[in-house]
Structure 1
Amino acid sequence: MRKTKLFMDTVVDIQVVVADKSRDKAEAAVDRAFELFRKVEQACSRFSQDSELMQATRQIGTAVQISPLLFEPLRFALEVAKWTNGKFDPTVGKAMEDHGFNQHYLTRATLHHAVADSATYQDIILDEEHRTLSINKPLVIDLGAVAKGFAIDLAANELKEFAGFIVNAGGDLYAGGLDENGDKWGVEIQHPLNKAQTIQRIEVSNEAVCTSGSYERRSPTHTGIHHLFDPERSVSPNEWISCSVVAPYALMADAFSTAAFLLGKERGVTLVEQVNLQGILIDSDLQVYRIGGI
């Protein structure tokens, strides 16, 4: 069975391998999986003034208790920020707004926040014991590099009892078990310059594959800027054109594909190797780097 819905500015496609007698159970599980996408979007979106994220960050210098749906992806984003010395920085939200990435995909509402230009991930403080968030100065947190992967993982957890399933959110996916033929799921990595072509095909089972690329979302207001942005240098790096990472969880694959892209060739490859993941990284000359045994 297969269902699709729209969440997080992308089409979420869920497929489940089912026997006839388990179809009703699969329908219910898929509905729960979609509901988790809705809840994560409500918690983590910077585009809605009513989201848990935006409400919490309006309280400067105050410890605000937040739900696990916000706390967990934010905690992971801050860990990756530390590992990359701030190249991957969830406080990039204001810079994204300034470069035209400030319109909600459904409402078309436009964001304008007057915040500190000097804010970094170090201005975000999480208290793990009490599950609270504090920020030191006005800032805009963007969880676009972790929230979708987190939602994919939660959805996959709802489907784990089935022999095979795939949760695909705009090309970022988790493939569980085996496909309808009893084989690993075949995943095609899109050619970054020609959507009709595949540059690599891999087979996965109980793994996630996420891709960060410069070819999908370009700034509507600034030439040469795409949605992968280095706030320190105020540029979009272009050593890579596409970075795909294979990991046990989509949260990891999502974050590390973005981090590898932002770090550039040498440091990006080193990062994927250091965290023992697999990667298919494509540079601006279309040279393919296969990491981790692919």
Structure 2
Amino acid sequence: MSPLLSRRRFIGVTAAAAGLGLVPFGHAPRAEAHLVTWQGQAMGAVATLQVHHHDRAAAERLVERALAEVRRLEAVFSLHRDDSALSTLNRQGFLIAPPAALVELLSECRRCWELTGGAFDPTVQALWILYRDHFSQPGADPQGPPETALQAALARVGFGQVAFDADRIVLPRRGMGLTLNGIAQGYATDRVVDILRAGGIASSLVDMGELRAIGPRPSGEPWRVGLADPDHPERIGETLDLVDQAVATSGGYGFRFEPEGRFNHLLDPRTGASAGLYRSVTVVMPSAMAADALSTAFSLLPPGDIGQAVQRLGEGQVHLLTASGETIMLQV
């Protein structure tokens, strides 16, 4: 495969000569010489995993270890599984003795929530349900749900009200719920990177719905990643070079509740409105988790606020394509 990769077209990535790239669940790994390839679905996204190793058995063990970790995390974070820890929390409104990974990720959510002035907020699940239910009705009002329903949903949003520690998690209001879709894929990508590095992999491109490079390409050159043109997602609009960095892109084109695209999945926890400032927001950070969460939050913030957040972090790069077509790049 060409070293130029489109994140929208190829969530599964081929990593040449000594690494991994991530694609669907359910297929057994297969070994060809010193290459072990897995294809399946992970964290709600298509993923591929290809590990090159001088020892085929060692490569197979790395694949199995990575997949076991992804399955473990899906049992904690997935909203598509009724038996996951997160679904149980949303259903009950509390969770006793929560999994350590869930408490750790909520702690990261709290940091992102504080850094972005509340723009990153996993309690927007109430808004998601409101728009999903409204637009799934026959003859739904194209202007969106009524104001009374919107205000009722907003009353169930506010991550600052969520209490959590190693012993319990409590959602204080009936009907409140969490979604970790804006951060969990990045977290899983980082965990797979940790496993591969511990197994001796020094050059790879990992994609579990978010993308992170381990070292440079085997040739010593940076990994070259193609980002989708938001107006034509099947085309590459911009390319980035990555070495030991992660990249995540958010845009309203990713999911729309209705054909016109006025209402998308990037929901503002402060107003209930959908993001409209940018056609796309791309964040480059050392970790996939940070890139994932911040690409979501920055979609809702003006450039000045984004620049201040990046300065406080002391690292990172942000590429903004505004609604008017202007390109803005912010970095430390």
TM-score (norm 1): 0.85
Matching residue of 1:178: 216
1:76 and 2:114 are equivalent in the alignment: no
Q: 1:11 aligns with which of 46, 51, 72?
A: 46
CA contact (8 A) 2:97 2:167 kept: yes
Maintained 8 Å contact 2:130/2:153:
no
Deviations 1:237-287 (A, max 9, x none): 211111111111111110111111121333233323332211112111222
Q: RMSD of aligned C-alpha atoms? A: 2.4
CA distance in 2, matches of 1:222, 1:41: 32
1:72-221 matches, cutoff 5 A: 72-100=104-132, 117-119=154-156, 120-127=158-165, 130-138=166-174, 139-160=176-197, 161-170=200-209, 172-220=210-258
Q: What is the aligned partner in structure 2 of residue 264 from structure 1?
A: 302
Which stretches of structure 1, 4 residues or longer, exceed 3 Å deviation after superposition?
A: 57-60, 220-223
Q: Distance in 1 between matches of 2:304 and 2:236?
A: 25
Residue-by-residue CA offset, 1:214-258 (whole Å, 9 max, x unaligned) = 112111488511110013212112111111111111111101111
Letter in 2 for 1:283: T
Q: 2:73 aligns to what?
A: 40
User: Secondary structure of 2:225's partner?
Assistant: strand
Tell me which residue corresponds to 2:99: 67
Cα distance in 1, alignment partners of residues 108 and 154 from structure 2: 23
Q: What is the alpha-carbon distance in structure 2 between the residues aligned to residue 185 and residue 145 of structure 1?
A: 24
Separation in 1 of the partners of 2:173 and 2:308?
33
Residues in 2 aligned to 1:221 and 1:35: alpha-carbon distance in whole angstroms: 38
Aligned equivalents of 1:89 and 1:165: distance in 2?
A: 31
CA distance in 2, matches of 1:201, 1:218: 25
Contact kept in structure 2, 1:163 and 1:177, CA below 8 Å:
yes
**Partners of 2:193 and 2:206 within 8 A in 1:** yes
- The whole-number CA distance in structure 2 between the counterparts of 1:101 and 1:80 is 28
CA contact under 8 A between 1:100 and 1:220: conserved in structure 2? no
Counterpart in the other structure of 1:106: none
Displacement of 1:180 in angstroms is 3.2
1:88-129 superposed Cα distances (whole Å, 9 cap, x missing partner): 211111211121289xxxxxxxxxxxx9751211221122xx
Q: Deviations over 1:132-162 (max 9, x none)?
A: 3122122110111111100000111111121
**Partner residue in 1 for 2:264:** 226
Distance 1:14 1:193 in 2: 29
The residue matched to 1:263 in structure 2 has which SS? coil
**Aligned residues with identical type, % of pairs:** 27
| Alpha-carbon distance in 2 for matches of 1:239, 1:179 | 35
Distance 1:183 1:141, change over 3 A: same
Distance in 2 (CA, whole Å) between partners of 1:15 and 1:203 is: 21
The one-letter code matched in structure 1 to 2:182 is: A
CA contact (8 A) 1:4 1:13 kept: yes
Q: Aligned in 2, Cα 1:101/1:255: closer, same or farther, shift over 3 Å?
A: farther
After alignment, is 268-277 or 248-257 more displaced? 268-277
Aligned AA for 2:282? S
Counterpart position of 2:15: none
Q: Which residue of 2 aligns with 1:54?
A: 87
Deviations 1:5-55 (A, max 9, x none): 212221112343x34x32331222122212222222221123332110122
Aligned length: 275
Find the residue that maps to 1:179 and give its secondary structure: coil
Do residues 280 (structure 1) and 309 (structure 2) align? Answer: no
Moved more, 234-243 or 270-279: 270-279
Unaligned runs of 5+ in 1: 103-114
2: distance between equivalents of 1:54 and 1:226? Answer: 23
Q: Which moved more, 1:78-87 or 1:153-162?
A: 78-87
Take 1:152 and 1:133, find their aligned partners in 2: how far apart are those partners? 25
- Matching residue's letter, 2:130: D
- Amino acid aligned to 1:151: A
Gaps of 5+ in 2: 1-34, 135-151
